Amino acid sequence: MKTLKLMLVILVATLSASASLAQEKPAKLAKRIAPIVFNGTEYHFRWSQGGQFEFTPSGQENLDAWTDMLTIWD
């Protein structure tokens, strides 16, 4: 659990350090943000706005029809 918390803190710090990330288009931004592994599942960046970053697993790219999602606030 400590490792997961540390990973999330590092991710949030990385997102905070780059204000330009929030202004990029999601497809371009997805190439710059590494996936998050949580509970054995790899979550990929899908969308961001106003400091909110959303990640879903492979196969759940459609944000209108997802079942698993991680949301990180900056």
| Residues β-bridged to residue 45 | 55
Residue in this structure with the two tokens 């900056």, named with its chain if needed = 74
pTM of the model as a whole: 0.63
Question: Poorest-confidence range of 15-19, 30-34, 51-55?
Answer: 15-19
For the chain, the straight-line distance linking the first and the last C-alpha, in angstroms and rounded, comes to: 21
* DSSP conformational letter for 21: G
- Model confidence over 32-46: pLDDT tens digits? 888 999 999 999 999
Structure tokens at 29: 């931004």
